[in-house]
Structure 1
């Protein structure tokens, strides 16, 4: 995996003259990290992870306090690397010398110190002792700043469109118009046309006007008084003289995200005022699994080797005391070499290798090599010249990306008689990467007390921009963090379940939770799982499937004694018999539920905790191997010189679905040596390729979603289309251009 960037100038450089940085994914064993330094490394990683977690939380606390005090707080001014570095240093137990400080630094420290004591009291945070922490703050503060900028750049457009749909009541208006027209006997086509004219097109015009920083010119009464006030409040965030690049807020937020930070906060606040679900305006680190930490020679010297002075110019000598320079990942080569910087979470390692010596003076070094950039642009098929098109003859593979079939491929020579097809499905990816197995392990192996603590924490949304709610979230997190951090940071350890830790909340409606798997009045602590509300038989079946999954795991068979395995087999067999007996009463189900549930918790207590960080590393390795298998399969099926023509389809994230790779998939295929082209597939699913007329759905099938059949038994088939005046049926597949003659 390479990370490359380009310095724009008119000079032409050969491949060897470019500066390149490559990241190699491996493990501590892969770089030969010495055993006597592993405990020190793990302690350091956990300490820095705790520091950065509180750094994210403290920064948000400061911003909300300032916004609560002054609505005109200059948010953009303080979202800088220097600010977040000072935030992290403020949370370290160290002596500071004011001395001669720059005015900007003095202003930042004054703002931080105003709220430092209050945050420490609210969060019950004890500043950690971390000498020579400036280098750590530099790296981790940069990561926090990057998180803020990326959050705005990636999500601002979607959140703005969501807000505009919200204030215009688009969903309710469409539902009301549809029901009213159906009751009057209008056809589906007439309803769709009316909705498009009176609602959808108006909403689109509203978004275009706001994008150009114009007050919307839309029909009267389309927006109510409150909606108009909130829209004006959002537009007033930008100064009058500020112009969006290319007259588009969506383009401007991508090119200059730092200018839209305060507007993003305003969006979050307005959405929350409308009782809509909160979204992340201020990034937080909510995971209790330790994250990657950057370590260079200076950090290694002070925090791993525990030296008091840094020997300048001896970084490789320092690293040789900890890692093995003869291992494959680090071994010297004539091109790319390890120059003393890596990232690690105590298990996995991201090793940085480069073809130039690092220089403290900035991006240029003594060799004067520019950085080479990855080209993110992909050419469209129709933009090729006649000569280039001739070169692709008999080589093109048409690929339709999607959610279920991540890639559905067909060679241009494919026919009904001799099909040349290839599919890469989401299910295949989940199996190869073991993502589904890891998710089940995390879910089924989680002890009951951990589930209760997480459910208690989830009562308060971390994304809220309400200061009172956020303060309550910080308090709640501080009270549940100790057992959660211990559970998620341990790697395959046996935890003592009899620790006398008790979670107590000052709220009367939230009683104590014990860490020894017992709880006082737990019915009021957290929402019960969905299966708790079903009949006893279904609930027993769910517990049985959980128990059976744990029983089938290899680690269970290794760790448990023979008597425990026998007990598991007996209970599973008894539960199967009870479920199959039609005469079993509710009392019988409830009695067996108690037995299975207790056995589940007893079995989990006898097993070591999951290795969460190792699973994270394994997931990355599995993904890379899966991609390599995909590339090899494509080359074997279509040849080494195949030209891949992908549809330019893309989709945003959807609930309960894994994100679908678009640009990432194209870049991966191109990096593996394929020539990748795009084709515009707009309307190809809706128009007949023979006569360019509109297609219609026509076949009724059983609802493919079993849980919805009670309300809608039959639905119209989505993928099968026809044109009324053609004698052909169109099966919409690869770019929906394949005709099957009847």
Structure 2
């Protein structure tokens, strides 16, 4: 539970604080009202950068410099009672000591609720009644499963205790790579995970020393391609990957060979959509109606949260009976196995397509919402997968890779084409939507053979620009100027 709270604050505090500032100052509305590349738009964002430096206590505001709304937002942030580290930015303090920010995170959730913004859960609760994996170590084994005294357990070897309930000759328990089984498993009654430990590994729960801001920043920079150019030059092939939501991975190499791994493909291979439909069919017996009456748990108001607990408690027996059905844990196990198969097939298909390669992946900076001193959690899982398969994977700053035409380096136009809404019920209402994945070059001289405007698929455009950036770095020219971040001063 404490680890869950710590990770939640560490990952999301800065993101939710900056989002609150944007919501209070109506940044989205201002972006829609102000014309592109206008002086008023530039002045607004210059002012916004200055205000954020004030709100995050990087800058001391001048006397009478803030408007009434800005002063109100500053007072609300002061009311959070944020803890500070001397001579270190706020983002660094969140990373090194997240639990000291937990009370402030709860107060921030209350501010969201007060102003009617979309609420978030400051205290992540496990709401699923499906049996989760629980850890069983040697102490739990002899106390609750074998039901013997401590003296009886200490009179025999640890291995002999586990032999009473497990077949230690099974390949899951065999030692490998210097690691061996030392008496710890997790299980949900359907599947089981066996934990192997290296003799030189630190004891579970041991904390390392606090790292400095420079050390954390250096660790983040170490995974970026700029600091790993020799490894990229030594690779037979370098492919760039743009991580997304619909096309989970869109890959391209310097020869223009492309490869896609889509969300639809993942759903089909893992069977998640089929399992969800079968679960919904089971819920149609009345469980869906019960769950629809449960109010939101995302509240910091004591009375509202008490109401949530009472309503949830009212029909808990029927819900427990439903979720105790063995089909739920069996589906969870099948989904895990199928996901592993899908990822294994992905690696095989990549190797068949590109041979031996090194990966340069976009860092999914999420429009700058990834906090300083941290890497995006969106890419963490993929980097772990590639590392497990002995594939080098480095990150690349995606700045402006979806905003520039690869042919002429001009800006591209977004949202210029519309279509009937993709959701059937919206389409029946006559709603339309912008085509997010189609971009057009604004340069009148950059035309296609048919003398028409040059159109780009968003993912293709992004990976083409990423290939250009990587090739420029490998040639020793650094990052091209058009894709470089310019340090814009934050002024009042």
Q: TM-score range by the shorter chain?
A: 0.7 to 0.9
Contact preservation (8 Å) 2:223, 2:394: yes
Structure 1, 264-273 or 693-702: larger mean CA deviation: 693-702
Contact preservation (8 Å) 1:403, 1:660: no
The partner residue of 2:439 within 720, 728, 731 is: 720
SS in 1 for 2:239: strand
Residue in structure 2 matched with residue 150 of structure 1 by the alignment: 7
The partner residue of 2:237 within 374, 382, 395 is: 395
Within 2, Cα distance between the matches of 1:150 and 1:404? 26
Q: Does 2:486 align with 1:486?
A: no
Q: Does 2:80 align with 1:263?
A: no
Within 1, Cα distance between the matches of 2:325 and 2:447? 66
Contact preservation (8 Å) 1:406, 1:660: no
Change over 3 Å in CA distance of 1:724–1:212 after alignment to 2: farther
Contact preservation (8 Å) 1:681, 1:735: no
Q: Does 2:85 align with 1:243?
A: yes
Within 1, Cα distance between the matches of 2:249 and 2:278? 28
Within 1, Cα distance between the matches of 2:263 and 2:99? 36
Residue in structure 1 matched with residue 122 of structure 2 by the alignment: 281
Within 2, Cα distance between the matches of 1:483 and 1:383? 57
How far did residue 353 of structure 1 move?
0.7
The partner residue of 1:230 within 71, 76, 93 is: 76
Contact preservation (8 Å) 1:429, 1:626: yes
Within 2, Cα distance between the matches of 1:635 and 1:163? 44
SS in 2 for 1:463: coil
How far did residue 713 of structure 1 move?
4.7
Change over 3 Å in CA distance of 1:170–1:347 after alignment to 2: same
Within 2, Cα distance between the matches of 1:705 and 1:250? 39
Structure 1, 354-363 or 615-624: larger mean CA deviation: 354-363
The partner residue of 2:344 within 620, 628, 631 is: 628
How far did residue 255 of structure 1 move?
1.9
Residue in structure 1 matched with residue 192 of structure 2 by the alignment: 349
Contact preservation (8 Å) 1:347, 1:613: yes
Within 1, Cα distance between the matches of 2:41 and 2:201? 60
Residue in structure 2 matched with residue 221 of structure 1 by the alignment: 67
Contact preservation (8 Å) 1:397, 1:642: yes
Residue in structure 1 matched with residue 372 of structure 2 by the alignment: none
Contact preservation (8 Å) 2:415, 2:434: no
Within 1, Cα distance between the matches of 2:103 and 2:343? 40
How far did residue 215 of structure 1 move?
6.0
Within 1, Cα distance between the matches of 2:5 and 2:57? 24
Change over 3 Å in CA distance of 1:145–1:384 after alignment to 2: closer
Within 1, Cα distance between the matches of 2:397 and 2:343? 25
Residue in structure 2 matched with residue 111 of structure 1 by the alignment: none
SS in 1 for 2:14: helix
How far did residue 303 of structure 1 move?
0.7
Within 2, Cα distance between the matches of 1:195 and 1:280? 33
The partner residue of 2:263 within 422, 426, 434 is: 426
Within 2, Cα distance between the matches of 1:398 and 1:306? 56
Q: Does 2:252 align with 1:410?
A: yes
How far did residue 454 of structure 1 move?
1.3
SS in 2 for 1:678: strand
How far did residue 635 of structure 1 move?
0.9
- Counterparts of 1:428-443 in structure 2, within 5 Å, are 428-443=265-280
> Normalised by the size of structure 1, how large is the TM-score?
0.53
How far did residue 391 of structure 1 move?
2.2
- Cα deviation per residue 1:382-425 (whole Å; 9 max; x = unaligned)? 4445x655423x512232222221122223223xxxxx322111
Within 2, Cα distance between the matches of 1:377 and 1:434? 37
How far did residue 189 of structure 1 move?
3.3
Residue in structure 2 matched with residue 57 of structure 1 by the alignment: none
Contact preservation (8 Å) 1:687, 1:694: yes
How far did residue 357 of structure 1 move?
8.2
Residue in structure 2 matched with residue 182 of structure 1 by the alignment: none
Residue in structure 2 matched with residue 372 of structure 1 by the alignment: none
Contact preservation (8 Å) 1:291, 1:345: yes
**Gaps spanning 5+ residues in structure 1: where?**
1-143, 179-187, 365-374, 415-419, 492-610
How far did residue 452 of structure 1 move?
2.3
- Counterparts of 1:252-331 in structure 2, within 5 Å, are 252-310=93-151, 311-312=153-154, 314-331=157-174
How far did residue 285 of structure 1 move?
2.1
Contact preservation (8 Å) 1:395, 1:643: yes
Change over 3 Å in CA distance of 1:169–1:619 after alignment to 2: same
Residue in structure 2 matched with residue 161 of structure 1 by the alignment: 18
Q: Does 2:52 align with 1:207?
A: yes
Within 1, Cα distance between the matches of 2:205 and 2:289? 49
SS in 1 for 2:105: helix
- Cα deviation per residue 1:175-196 (whole Å; 9 max; x = unaligned)? 6x46xxxxxxxxx536x66345
- Cα deviation per residue 1:501-556 (whole Å; 9 max; x = unaligned)? xxxxxxxxxxxxxxxxxxxxxxxxxxxxxxxxxxxxxxxxxxxxxxxxxxxxxxxx
The partner residue of 1:444 within 271, 274, 281 is: 281
How many residue pairs align between the two structures?
435
Contact preservation (8 Å) 1:168, 1:222: no
How far did residue 617 of structure 1 move?
1.8
Contact preservation (8 Å) 1:268, 1:465: yes
Residue in structure 1 matched with residue 308 of structure 2 by the alignment: 473
How far did residue 202 of structure 1 move?
3.2
How far did residue 680 of structure 1 move?
2.8
Residue in structure 2 matched with residue 642 of structure 1 by the alignment: 357
SS in 1 for 2:172: coil
Contact preservation (8 Å) 2:412, 2:439: no
Cα root mean square deviation, aligned? 3.4
Residue in structure 2 matched with residue 616 of structure 1 by the alignment: 332
> Normalised by the size of structure 2, how large is the TM-score?
0.78
Please say which structure displays the higher CA radius of gyration.
1
Contact preservation (8 Å) 2:237, 2:357: yes
Change over 3 Å in CA distance of 1:250–1:624 after alignment to 2: same
- Cα deviation per residue 1:226-250 (whole Å; 9 max; x = unaligned)? 545423312xx136xx336632x22
Within 2, Cα distance between the matches of 1:698 and 1:155? 29
Within 2, Cα distance between the matches of 1:360 and 1:189? 56
How far did residue 158 of structure 1 move?
1.8
Residue in structure 2 matched with residue 336 of structure 1 by the alignment: 179
Change over 3 Å in CA distance of 1:408–1:363 after alignment to 2: closer
Change over 3 Å in CA distance of 1:713–1:267 after alignment to 2: closer
How far did residue 650 of structure 1 move?
4.4
